[in-house]
């Protein structure tokens, strides 16, 4: 077990706040995944409400993940749409500028909402997410599979 000092911040305690970012104390991928699992099992009330609006591709057909680990940035995003690289954070006061810079360097767009906004104005939050998503391009280019040419016959098995 790693006995290195860790903070207990919302994003899984990736660094000791006394040391700051710089690689002195880094969580392993297993630690991040375990913390994300714990966070999925114990969501806050605003996270539950927002997940109800995002799950099952309800918002503009976008597929979101909950408590998504971005190991390269030592971060756990509350919600993440990998197709467009959009991360959503609830109660953003627990996240810092260094973390934002690491996520931005990976090409992710992060938007934040406070707990009161999610609880009292979920429709407005969903509208803001939709508007932001509409400005982002799809990171995965889908192409249809090649079609067999005329006269092609499938070989026997």
pLDDT digits over 88-147, tens only?
Answer: 999 856 667 888 899 999 999 999 999 999 999 999 999 999 999 999 999 876 666 666
Identify whether the C-beta of residue 85 lies closer than 8 Å to the C-beta of residue 135.
no
Q: Which of 6, 58, 52, 93 is nearest to 66 (CA)?
A: 52
Identify whether the C-beta of residue 82 lies closer than 8 Å to the C-beta of residue 64.
no
- Phi (first) and psi of residue 80, to 5 degrees: -145, 130
* 144 Cβ contact list (under 8 Å, min separation 6): none
63: three-class secondary structure by DSSP? coil
- Structure-block tokens of residue 103: 């996520």
Q: Is the pTM of this model over 0.75?
A: no
pLDDT digits over 21-66, tens only?
Answer: 444 468 899 999 999 999 999 999 999 999 999 999 999 999 999 9
């Amino acid at each position: 077990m790693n006995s290195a000092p860790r903070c207990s911040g919302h994003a899984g305690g990736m660094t000791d706040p006394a040391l700051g970012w710089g690689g002195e104390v880094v969580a392993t991928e297993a630690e991040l995944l375990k913390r994300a699992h714990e966070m999925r099992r114990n969501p806050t009330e605003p996270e539950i409400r927002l997940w109800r609006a995002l799950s099952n591709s309800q918002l503009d057909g976008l597929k979101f993940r909950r408590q998504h680990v971005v190991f390269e940035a030592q971060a756990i995003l509350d919600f993440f749409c990998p197709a467009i690289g959009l991360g959503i954070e609830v109660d953003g006061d627990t996240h810092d500028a260094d973390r934002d810079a690491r996520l931005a360097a990976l090409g992710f767009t992060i938007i934040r909402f406070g707990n009161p906004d999610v609880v009292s104005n979920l429709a407005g939050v969903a509208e803001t997410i939709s508007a932001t998503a509409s400005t982002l391009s799809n990171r995965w280019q889908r192409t249809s599979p090649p079609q067999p040419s005329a006269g092609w016959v499938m070989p026997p098995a």
